[in-house]
Structure 1
Amino acid sequence: MNEKKILAYLQEHPEFLLNHAADLGVRPAEGRVQSFAQAQWLAQQKKAAKMAGQLAQIMQDADSNHQTLGRMLGFVRRLLAANTLLQVLRAAEAGWQEDFALPSGRVWLLAEPPKKGAVSGAYRLPENHAAHAALSALKEPLCGNRIAPALMKALPQEGRGLESFLLLPLRVNGQTVAVMVAGDADETRFTPDLPLDWMRELAACTAAALARAGGW
């Protein structure tokens, strides 16, 4: 047997010798018994603290997921209540701003809807707008502290005062027909490593509502 491995195990589990002293014929010195007991207590305290930390993280993650789910459901309810294209666009932008607390959030329609009479109002971004080409080229969500200057022009006041950004392309049949954009003054809100599973679902729901109302 490897003595180093045995020694390492005993150092990590000092209670082992105490628990099996009789079986091994070992009688620790009087002073050692106390130190072993103390080490055992410290080891148990360390394990308990680690478990408590893990449990706290699990509860924090569960609470965060619960809040996100609530916001998602509120957003989807808005979409379900909308019938016309203009109503869908209004619902998406209101949900973006209110349910997700993003006052800078905007929804831009990039493509002309096939459905006749589908009014898009001020949500239609003209093709000659400085951000139109860059937004139309988006195929995946974009999240981080830096975005192209052209994309900044799609945000209120061209993104001045905002330190982190999230852009969600709304795609129907392989085409980006609209986009949801938002920024925040907090540079840590939208970081490049932010998980985007929920946001992808949000974009998919919004794209489905647009397709229904706009005839795509």
Structure 2
Amino acid sequence: MSLLQTLFDAEIHLGGATILWREIVGNAFGIASAIGGMKRVVWAWPVGIIGNALLFTVFMGALFHTPQDLNLYGQAGRQLLFITVSAYGWTTWLRSRHDSGEAVLPHWASTGQRIAMIATMVVGTVAFAKVFDMLGSWGPWPDAWIFTGSILATYGMARGWTEFWLIWIGVDVVGVPLLFSGGYYPSAILYLVYAAFVLWGFAVWMRIQRLTAARAASDTPSDTAVE
């Protein structure tokens, strides 16, 4: 038990900053999960869940007595919701792979689904900002934006909506300055690295989407009857 506690509390010191190894490891699992999502492989989900569990203990800094000693309730809460949504994505991709041989086929969300996503983003950000502020979260508004966008993006990935990559870009734009200012340097750097993967993943899913559409068009029999 003491060995596990030692590993749990292990630190690295860079300049004047103290960083927990579990923050680095949790973010490494996050990057691995992003790569798996881009490649549309099912193992992306359980790998992400492990990273989420580790990062929950990092962002509840005052509870787990981390060097930052800050509670980011949005960042911590989204790790728990990530685990829930990831379980849904995991089962969805497994079922899809069993039925069609593909874990997921990238496609655009419908107009109605896009409107619902925008409405959820606005309402969720306002509502969670108020909740996080009452809980004493450090930076409740950006925390709420990141929280809401992250859940939407994860759900969109599970559904195979190509837009989920664009939602992640919006999350990264707010997340990087928030985490740097809070002293969560590995997580802030992950957001920067992740932004590159997001752009790459968006391009990959767009290409798959175009190839799938072209293949479907070529497989459609001609409407012109042969006399």
Taking structure 1 as the reference length, what is the TM-score of the superposition? 0.35
Greater Cα radius of gyration, structure 1 or 2? 1
- The answer to which structure has the higher strand fraction is 1
Taking structure 2 as the reference length, what is the TM-score of the superposition? 0.34
